[in-house]
Amino acid sequence: MTTTIERPLAPAPPDAGRGRARRRRENLAGYAFMTPWLLGFVFIIGGPVLVSLYLSFTDYAVLGEAEWIGAENYVRMFTSDPRFWAALRVTFIYLLVSVPLVQVFALFLATVLNRGIRGLPAYRAVFYVPSLIGGSVAIAILWRFIFESDGLFNNLLGFVGIETSHSWIGTPSTALSTLIVLNVWQFGAAMIIYLAGLKNVPLELYEAAQIDGAGAWRQFRSITLPMLSPVIFFNVLMNVVAAFQAFNSAYVVSNGSGGPADSTLFYTLYLYQRGFVDFDMGYASALGWVLLIISGAVAALLFTLSRRVVYYGDE
Amino acid sequence: MSMKHTRTASSVAAIAAGALALTACGAGGGSSAPTGEVDGAIAYGFWGNPSRGEKVNAIADLFEAEYPDASVTGEVADYYSYIERLTVRAAGGDLPCATGTQSTFFAQYADNKVLRPLDDLIESGQIDTSNIPEDVLAAGQIDGTQYMIPTGTFVRLLAYNADMVATAGAEPLTEGMTWEDYATWLRDLQPALPAGVYAAENEGGLMFTFTSWVVGHGAEVFTEDGELGFDKDMLADYFQYWLDLGDDGVIVPPASIPEQNGALELTPMATGSAVAATRDIPHIYINEQALAGAGLPSNIDQVSMPTEDPDQSANILGSNGISIPESCDDIPTAAAWTDFFANDIDAALAFQSDNGIVTNTEAQDALLEDAETPEGVKQNVTILRGLTESGDLTTSRYPAGLNTISNELLRLYQSAAFGEMSVDDAVDAFFVSAEDALR
């Protein structure tokens, strides 16, 4: 004899139907609010991005028709375009020098400002202002005037007895440095984030460390850095992405040429030249996709490293 | 495999290429259906500044008084933005019915059948070119077909600060020089100049100067077939000429080239730190004004570009003008506007040769006679008149890809000047890039 055990049905809440209807209405409202963004994403971003993927396999001069050439743009880029490699080199130098310097400056000043000094809001504002205006064309033009042969920087050097007419932006060996300085000057945004992170480090940790006899450096190394590591990771990631996208400063300072002698040829500037000066839009599209892959790979590398060095507190 | 695109798809595609890192876009305008009458609303796109925009508006008012049923809306952008938008808009079939063009870049649009041949409109009398000199008109032609009506012209000459030369006790430049004569003059002048002042600007990377060099040596920069018309030795000699002058300390050092290629008022010649340089005629007066404004010696004279053949002028003429795109659907109004802009005397007086010296000879006369014409404009007209009357002018072909080639010339000259490349390597690299741009 077999017995059939019937699984009892879960009792339905008396207002389940009404709840589902309400959720559906809420979902519909949510989608309605999202629709403008979704349409914008699909047609203004998603669509063109997909078209650019197609174009990267074509010879397309904007005027006229796109001709399918397979992977020729990519092959040319890696095998017979010295300016592609020059642009990569300049971009990575800029990234590898300026991103760490921004973190060091920002963290140092955030640590100083976190000591409860008087007039903190004023200092915070003063240091933050360059982040707001530093990426503008106006500041890039100002940078030209500061670092050209008879610019402000050489005049300042003259005041301390160093007479020079060196054109810092006109000489290949120093031109990129001026752009790195411009980027480092914009450390304020990172500093504000570090300051917020420092405020969240429990004071008890420092008190316990002091009782154990830890000095300021030891406290910084063993408490501040680990506790701030998620914030450091965030700032580094954001700055790396921004470094890959750097354009304005090099465009203005070099008159759009990336010169002198390609010394300020950021990757995006080269992409712009190929697309909107040479009108080799197929090649420019290929450059764009290679940039996406490179920046994606670097971001993936950072995330992989973060598993080892970033401390999230609950681990 | 060849893929065809609709114009709409091309427009989207043009924007798409920059979507990963950059964006660019253009706005559209409209025009009425063709009727044969001048009664439509068209747009006139041009490059310039708000001041030029006001002058164009004044001409539009005069035009609308002449043709009450027609109207013209100006669309202005700065030069580089204008070029970018022009290409994107051309891809979308969205160019304004009257499109501002230049002899240096209209070829790529004509080659791609974006621009309409204007010969039928000239033959029918809708556009009158009878008062535009033949050699000026030729700057708007490709293989004898007129694609641009030149409305303003510029000629590159060798300018020098006559006051500074006199103060240095040197002889002024003379007509009929060779390039070696010019180099000797610079080397003789340099020791008599104050510290920090150079005998000349550094023009080893300038396409216009190189064009004069090539033409003056009896060759052509671009052949009829759209290929380079000079050999590697000629370019190597040109690079070496300027590098030698640089080694002798008589031209602005290469590190100052970015300053030299910036705003005209801030160039070494306009700030008194260089005595000589090539300048378009309209720029000579601007230089004088900049020098005078700074309280510096400001009298600038000019001579013809050096040439190795006394019978071959190396004064290269270029023109700004108006073209009509194939996509325009109100040809009569576009033609009437082009004709009005190029020929109407009141329009010429209102525009004051703001974008090149007016090409119409009757309008030139009117400008010279009118008491309200600024002195600088009269000076420019007089210089151009002298050149056209003596026939000391020549034109050059400007194929598609010229912009890329110009940029490469500057980049590779700088690489050689900074010792990052040998002259031979720079020349080889230039030929690779130029041939790629011309293909």
DSSP per-residue letters across B269-315: TTTTSEEEEEEEHHHHHHHHHHHHHTTS---EEEEPPP-SSTTS---
What confidence score (pLDDT) does residue B146 get?
A: 95
Q: Name residue A93's amino acid.
A: I
CA distance, residue A121 to nearest chain B CA (Å): 35
Q: A34-43, A232-241, B390-399, B429-438: which range is least confident on average?
A: B390-399
Report which DSSP code applies to B154: E
What's the average model confidence in pLDDT over A275-303?
Answer: 94
Residue B281, pLDDT > 90, answer no
Q: Which of B17, B259, B261 sits opposite A148 (nearest CB)?
A: B259
CB contact under 8 A, A291 and B20: yes
Interface test with B, best of A57, A81, A178, A278 (most B CBs within 10 A): A278
Any domain includes B358: yes
Taking the mean position of all CA atoms in its chain, how far away is CA A56? Answer: 24
CB contact under 8 A, B21 and A291: yes
- List chain B residues with CB under 8 Å of A48: 12-13, 15-16, 19
The strand pair at B300-303 and B317-323 is best described as: unpaired
- List chain B residues with CB under 8 Å of A260: 254-255, 257-258, 414, 418
If one compares B149 and B398, the residue with the highest pLDDT of the two is: B149
Instruction: Tell me what percent of chain B is helix, strand and coil, each rounded to the nearest 5.
Output: 45, 15, 40
Cis omega before residue B194 (within 30°)?
no
Shared domain for B136 and B177, answered yes or no, is no
Shared domain for B112 and B180, answered yes or no, is no
Distance, in Å, from the CA atom of B359 to the CA atom of B384, rounded to the nearest integer, reads 10
CB contact under 8 A, A48 and B196: no
The average confidence (pLDDT) of chain B is: 87
CA distance, residue A185 to nearest chain B CA (Å): 23
CATH code, domain carrying B331: 3.40.190.10
What confidence score (pLDDT) does residue A42 get?
A: 85
Determine contact: B84 vs chain A, CB below 8 A.
Answer: yes
- pLDDT band (50, 70, 90) for residue B20: very low
**Of B196, B173, B192, whose CA–CA distance to B274 is shortest?**
B196
CA distance, residue B66 to nearest chain A CA (Å): 36
CB contact under 8 A, B5 and A66: yes
Residue B12, pLDDT > 70, answer no
What confidence score (pLDDT) does residue A7 get?
A: 53
Determine contact: B368 vs chain A, CB below 8 A.
Answer: no
CA distance, residue B4 to nearest chain A CA (Å): 6
Q: Which of B3, B410, B415 sits opposite A58 (nearest CB)?
A: B3
The string of DSSP codes covering B226-260 is: SSB-S-HHHHHHHHHHHHHHHHTT-B--GGGHHHH
CA distance, residue B285 to nearest chain A CA (Å): 24
Q: Which of A55, A169, A170 sits opposite B17 (nearest CB)?
A: A55
Distance, in Å, from the CA atom of B55 to the CA atom of B155, rounded to the nearest integer, reads 23
- List chain A residues with CB under 8 Å of B17: 52, 55, 60, 275, 281-282, 284-285, 288
What is the number of alpha carbons within 13 Å of residue B301 lying toward its C-beta?
11
CB contact under 8 A, A65 and B15: no
- List chain A residues with CB under 8 Å of B20: 49, 52, 285, 288-289, 291-292
Looking at chain B, which residue has its C-alpha nearest residue A283? B17
Neighbours of A173 (CB within 10 A): 14
CB contact under 8 A, B13 and A281: yes
If one compares B12 and B213, the residue with the highest pLDDT of the two is: B213
Task: Give the H or E element holding residue B85.
Answer: helix B79-91
Shared domain for B102 and B244, answered yes or no, is no
**Of A46, A47, A280, A63, whose CA–CA distance to B7 is shortest?**
A63
Shared domain for B255 and B336, answered yes or no, is no
Residue B6, pLDDT > 70, answer no
Question: Helix or strand or coil: residue B103?
Answer: coil
Determine contact: B255 vs chain A, CB below 8 A.
Answer: yes
Looking at chain B, which residue has its C-alpha nearest residue A262? B411
CB contact under 8 A, A165 and B90: no
Shared domain for B414 and B359, answered yes or no, is no
Distance, in Å, from the CA atom of B328 to the CA atom of B349, rounded to the nearest integer, reads 28
Number of domains in chain B: 2
Shared domain for B363 and B413, answered yes or no, is no
Shared domain for B161 and B288, answered yes or no, is yes
What confidence score (pLDDT) does residue B11 get?
A: 41
What HEC string does chain A produce? CCCCCCCCCCCCCCCHHHHHHHHHHHHHHHHHHHHHHHHHHHHHHHHHHHHHHHHCCEECCCCCCCEECCCHHHHHHHHHCHHHHHHHHHHHHHHHHHHHHHHHHHHHHHHHHCCCCCCHHHHHHHHHHHHHHCCCHHHHHHHHHHHCCCCHHHHHHHHCCCCCCCCCCCCHHHHHHHHHHHHHCCCHHHHHHHHHHHHCCCHHHHHHHHHCCCCHHHHHHHHHHHHHHHHHHHHHHHHHHHHHHCCHHHHHHCCCCCCCCCCCCCHHHHHHHHHHHCCCHHHHHHHHHHHHHHHHHHHHHHHHHHHHHCCCCCC
Shared domain for B269 and B362, answered yes or no, is no
Report which DSSP code applies to B354: B
What confidence score (pLDDT) does residue B5 get?
A: 38
Instruction: List all residues of chain B from 373 to 402 with a beta carbon under 8 Å from chain A.
Output: 401
Cβ(B258)–Cβ(A167) below 8 Å: yes
Q: Where are the domains of chain A?
A: 72-309
What confidence score (pLDDT) does residue B417 get?
A: 95
What's the average model confidence in pLDDT over B206-215?
Answer: 95
The per-residue pLDDT for range B307-343, each reduced to its tens digit, is 999 889 999 988 999 999 999 989 999 999 999 999 9
Residue B28, pLDDT > 80, answer no
What confidence score (pLDDT) does residue A10 get?
A: 54
Residue B263, pLDDT > 50, answer yes
Looking at chain B, which residue has its C-alpha nearest residue A259? B411
Residue A12, pLDDT > 60, answer no
Question: If 0-12 CB within 10 Å is exposed, 13-18 middle and 19+ buried, where does residue B433 land?
Answer: buried
Q: Which domain holds residue B247?
A: 155-316+396-438
What confidence score (pLDDT) does residue B247 get?
A: 96
**Of B380, B366, B396, B375, whose CA–CA distance to B292 is shortest?**
B375
CATH superfamily to which A72-309 belongs: MetI-like (1.10.3720.10)
Shared domain for B224 and B110, answered yes or no, is no
Residue B250, pLDDT > 90, answer yes
Distance, in Å, from the CA atom of B307 to the CA atom of B157, rounded to the nearest integer, reads 12
Cβ(B216)–Cβ(B179) below 8 Å: yes
Any domain includes B384: no
Distance, in Å, from the CA atom of A249 to the CA atom of B221, rounded to the nearest integer, reads 34
- pLDDT band (50, 70, 90) for residue B21: very low
CB contact under 8 A, B255 and A254: no
Any domain includes B86: yes
- pLDDT band (50, 70, 90) for residue B300: very high
What confidence score (pLDDT) does residue A256 get?
A: 84
Question: If 0-12 CB within 10 Å is exposed, 13-18 middle and 19+ buried, where does residue A290 land?
Answer: buried
What confidence score (pLDDT) does residue B29 get?
A: 35
CB contact under 8 A, B414 and A261: yes
Q: Which of B12, B91, B261 sits opposite A255 (nearest CB)?
A: B261
What confidence score (pLDDT) does residue A21 get?
A: 85
Instruction: Give the ipTM of the model, two decimals please.
Output: 0.77
Q: B10-14, B108-112, B361-365: which range is least confident on average?
A: B10-14
CA distance, residue A284 to nearest chain B CA (Å): 6
> Which range, A3-7, B12-16, B295-299, B340-344, has the best average confidence (pLDDT)?
B340-344
Residue B209, pLDDT > 70, answer yes
Question: If 0-12 CB within 10 Å is exposed, 13-18 middle and 19+ buried, where does residue B40 land?
Answer: buried
In order of A292, B226, B398, the CA distances from B108 in angstroms are 31, 11, 9
Question: Helix or strand or coil: residue B346?
Answer: helix
Any domain includes B16: yes
- List chain A residues with CB under 8 Å of B196: 165
CB contact under 8 A, A260 and B257: yes
Shared domain for B123 and B159, answered yes or no, is no
Q: A267-271, B12-16, B396-400: which range is least confident on average?
A: B12-16
Neighbours of B419 (CB within 10 A): 11
Q: Which of B10, B17, B109 sits opposite A52 (nearest CB)?
A: B17
Name, in order, each residue with C-beta under 8 angstroms of B196's C-beta and a sequence gap of 6 or more: A165, B273
Cβ(B132)–Cβ(B338) below 8 Å: no
Percent of residues, chain A, with pLDDT higher than 70 = 94
Phi-psi category of B276—alpha, beta or left, where left has phi over 0 and alpha has psi -120 to 50? beta
Shared domain for B137 and B168, answered yes or no, is no
Shared domain for B205 and B296, answered yes or no, is yes
What confidence score (pLDDT) does residue A16 get?
A: 65
The per-residue pLDDT for range B175-186, each reduced to its tens digit, is 999 999 999 999
Distance, in Å, from the CA atom of B73 to the CA atom of B56, rounded to the nearest integer, reads 9
Q: Name residue A101's amino acid.
A: L
Per-residue tokens: A290: 């290679």
- List chain A residues with CB under 8 Å of B326: none
What confidence score (pLDDT) does residue B376 get?
A: 82
Distance, in Å, from the CA atom of A259 to the CA atom of A270, rounded to the nearest integer, reads 11
Distance, in Å, from the CA atom of B346 to the CA atom of A252, rounded to the nearest integer, reads 39
Distance, in Å, from the CA atom of A297 to the CA atom of A151, rounded to the nearest integer, reads 40
The string of DSSP codes covering B51-82 is: HHHHHHHHHHHHHHHHSTT-EEEEEEE-HHHH
Question: Helix or strand or coil: residue B438?
Answer: helix
CB contact under 8 A, B2 and A67: yes
Name, in order, each residue with C-beta under 8 angstroms of A118's C-beta and a sequence gap of 6 or more: none
What confidence score (pLDDT) does residue A8 get?
A: 53
CA distance, residue A184 to nearest chain B CA (Å): 22
- List chain B residues with CB under 8 Å of A278: 401, 403-404, 437
What confidence score (pLDDT) does residue B27 get?
A: 31
- pLDDT band (50, 70, 90) for residue B362: very high
Percent of residues, chain B, with pLDDT higher than 70 = 92
CB contact under 8 A, A262 and B91: no
Distance, in Å, from the CA atom of B69 to the CA atom of B90, rounded to the nearest integer, reads 27
- List chain B residues with CB under 8 Å of A51: 9, 12-13, 16
CB contact under 8 A, A63 and B91: yes
What's the average model confidence in pLDDT over B268-285?
Answer: 91
